[in-house]
Amino acid sequence: MPDTAFWAVCLVVVPLFFALICFVRSDQAAVLGLLAAGLNALAALAMTVFFVRSGPLRYAIGGWQAPLGINFSIDGLSVLLVAMTAVTGLSVSMYARGYFSLRIGSAGEINRHGHQRAFFWPVWLLLWGALNGLFLSADLFNVYVTLEIIGLSAVVLTALSGKPAARLAAMRYLLVSLLGSCSYLFGVALLYRSYGILDMAALARLISPAPLMWASLALLTTGLLLKTALFPLHFWLPPAHANALAPVSAILSGLVVKASFYLMLRLWGDIFAQVLPFAAYVLLGVLGCGAVLWGAVQALLQKRLKMLIAYSTVAQLGYLFIALPLIRLDPGSSAWEAVILLIMSHACAKSAMFMAAGSIFLKAGHDRIDDLAGIKEVLPISSFAFVLAGVSLMGFPPSGGFVGKWLLLGVSLAGGEWWWGVMLVIGSLLAAGYVYRVASRLLVFKVTFFSRRQSIPPVMEWSAVLLALLALLLGLLAGYPLGLLEAGSPFPLHACREVMP
Binding to another protein, residues 404-463 (CB under 8 A) = 405-407, 409-410, 413-414, 418, 421-422, 425-426, 428-429, 432, 436, 440, 443-446
> For residue 490, what is the enclosing H or E element?
none
- Selected binder of another protein within 34, 35, 42, 61 (CB under 8 A): 61
Q: Note whether 2 binds another protein by CB under 8 A.
A: no
User: If you ran DSSP here, which 8-state letter would residue 271 be given?
Assistant: I
CB atoms within 10 A of CB 119: 17
CB 280 within 8 A of CB 218: no
Query: How near is the Cβ of 188 to another protein at its closest, in Å?
Result: 8
What whole-number distance in Å separates Cα of residue 400 and Cα of residue 397? 8
Minimum CB distance to another protein smaller for 49 or for 212: 212
User: Of the candidates 359, 353, 341, which has an alpha carbon nearest to the alpha carbon of residue 388?
Assistant: 353
CB atoms within 10 A of CB 480: 11
Minimum CB distance to another protein smaller for 119 or for 462: 119
> Is the link from the previous residue into 398 a cis peptide, with omega within 30 of 0?
yes
Size, binding site for another protein by CB under 8 A: 127
Query: How near is the Cβ of 121 to another protein at its closest, in Å?
Result: 10
Minimum CB distance to another protein smaller for 347 or for 362: 362
User: If you ran DSSP here, which 8-state letter would residue 145 be given?
Assistant: H
Strand partners, 57: 74
Q: Which stretch binds another protein (CB under 8 A): 31-39, 76-84, 189-197, 314-322?
A: 189-197
Please classify residue 281 by burial: count the beta carbons closer than 10 Å to its beta carbon, then call 0-12 exposed, 13-18 middle and 19+ buried. Answer: buried
| Contacts of another protein in 246-305 (CB under 8 A) | 246, 304
- Pattern 6-45, binding to another protein, x per CB under 8 A? x--x---x--xx-xxx-xxxxx------------------
Query: How crowded is the C-beta side of 420, counted as CA atoms within 13 Å?
Result: 35
User: If you ran DSSP here, which 8-state letter would residue 501 be given?
Assistant: -
What whole-number distance in Å separates Cα of residue 253 and Cα of residue 312? 10
| Contacts of another protein in 73-102 (CB under 8 A) | none
| Contacts of another protein in 190-219 (CB under 8 A) | 190, 192-198, 210-212, 214-215
Query: How near is the Cβ of 380 to another protein at its closest, in Å?
Result: 9
- Selected binder of another protein within 33, 56, 89, 239 (CB under 8 A): 239
Name the H helices within 229-333. 237-243, 246-251, 257-266, 278-301, 305-329
- Selected binder of another protein within 67, 105, 209, 458 (CB under 8 A): 67
For every residue of 379-417, which 3-state class applies, written as one string? CHHHHHHHHHHHHHHCCCCCCHHHHHHHHHHHHHHHCCC
What whole-number distance in Å separates Cα of residue 2 and Cα of residue 76? 19
Minimum CB distance to another protein smaller for 89 or for 129: 129
Minimum CB distance to another protein smaller for 246 or for 327: 246
Instruction: Give how far the C-alpha of residue 58 lies from the chain's centroid of Cα atoms, to the nearest Å.
Output: 24
What whole-number distance in Å separates Cα of residue 134 and Cα of residue 129? 9
Q: At what angle do helices 305-329 and 278-301 cross, to 10 degrees?
A: 160
Minimum CB distance to another protein smaller for 445 or for 450: 445
Query: How near is the Cβ of 195 to another protein at its closest, in Å?
Result: 5
- Pattern 459-498, binding to another protein, x per CB under 8 A? ----------------xx-xx--x----------------
What whole-number distance in Å separates Cα of residue 306 and Cα of residue 454? 22
- Selected binder of another protein within 334, 383, 463, 489 (CB under 8 A): 334
Phi-psi label, residue 245: left if phi above 0, alpha if psi -120 to 50, beta otherwise: beta
Query: How near is the Cβ of 273 to another protein at its closest, in Å?
Result: 21
Query: How near is the Cβ of 426 to another protein at its closest, in Å?
Result: 8
Query: How near is the Cβ of 255 to another protein at its closest, in Å?
Result: 17
Query: How near is the Cβ of 12 to another protein at its closest, in Å?
Result: 8
Query: How near is the Cβ of 469 to another protein at its closest, in Å?
Result: 12
- Pattern 135-174, binding to another protein, x per CB under 8 A? ------xx--xx-xx--xx-xx--xxxxxxxxxxxxxx-x
* Helix (H) and strand (E) counts in the chain: 21, 2
- Selected binder of another protein within 35, 45, 52, 179 (CB under 8 A): 179
Query: How near is the Cβ of 27 to another protein at its closest, in Å?
Result: 6
Minimum CB distance to another protein smaller for 53 or for 115: 115
